[in-house]
Structure formats: C-alpha cells, structure tokens
Amino acid sequence: MDPANAEAQTVESRNASSAPSGDEGLLEQARLLWYELRGLAHDHLQLAALETQQAGESLVAMITAGVILGGLLLTVWLGLLAAVVFELTSRDIITLGSALMLAVALNLVAALLLWGDIRRRSRYLRFTANTRALERESSPLPDMEKM
C-alpha cells in the first residue's frame, strides 16, 4: 500500500468520525445562531439604555438652563419696566403711582395674551388625528340572529 494513500485514508476516516451527523450539525448551528442573536439583542438593549440615559441627562440640563434663562429674562423685563417708570416719573410726565399702575397693566396684558396662546395651542396636545385613526368605525355589524 502507498504510504501517502494510507495517510490520506486515515485523515478522511478521522474527519468522518469527528464530523457530526446532519442533525447534530444543524442543531449546533441553530444553537450558535441563538447565542449570536441573544448577544446582538443584548448589545442593542445596552445601546438603547445608554442613549436613554444620555437623553435624560440632556433633558434635565435643558430644563435647568430654561429655568435659569426664564429667571434672567424676568429680571431683564422688570429692569426695563423700572427704567421706563423711572424715566416717566423723572420727567414729570406721569406720577409714580400712575407709572407703576401702567407697568402692572402692561404685565397683565402680556400675561393674558400668553395665557390665550397657551389655551389655543393646548388642543394640539390631545393627538386628535391619532385618536380618530385608532377609533373603531361606528358602522354597526348586521345582526346575524335576525337573518
């Protein structure tokens, strides 16, 4: 017998004996696919959690900055009103009490305008188009008992 041929037959017999049958190979591939899908799902969930955490931190920072900005704008507005009141009273155009009442009335008008705008826009918070699309049609089904 040829030694090279004998060695080739030995390698083939070793591969044949170590190779799993068709069912075992398919089960092994399915198991590996399952582990890979589980790992992929874990990675996606971990990424979603990190992005949610980042979005939450950004939202808190934005709300904090908005509150500080609102306070700064309030002081600017009050300073502007004080300057107008001071200017009107220093030129003897109007008395101090009348100037303060004018500033209060101006603030009240601005507040009422903003309140009306908020009420007008609040109807868009109800998702009316989505609600309408999700509601069942009100057409009654035919009564099968009467037929």
Tokens of 96: 């101090």
Over residues 34-41, mean pLDDT:
92
Q: Per residue in 47-96, pLDDT tens?
A: 999 999 999 999 999 999 999 999 999 999 999 999 999 999 999 989 99
pLDDT bucket at 100, cuts 50 / 70 / 90: very high
Tokens of 76: 């600017």
Q: Mind giving me the DSSP string for the chain?
A: --HHHHHHHHHHHHHHHHSPPHHHHHHHHHHHHHHHHHHHHHHHHHHHHHHHHHHHHHHHHHHHHHHHHHHHHHHHHHHHHHHHHHHHHHTTSS-HHHHHHHHHHHHHHHHHHHHHHHHHHHGGGG-HHHHHHHSPP-PPPP-TT--
- Total count of residues recorded for the chain: 147
Who wins on pLDDT, 4 or 43? 43
> What percent of the chain shows pLDDT beyond 70?
77
Q: Is the pLDDT score of 21 beyond 70?
A: no
pLDDT bucket at 120, cuts 50 / 70 / 90: very high
Q: What pLDDT sits at residue 101?
A: 94
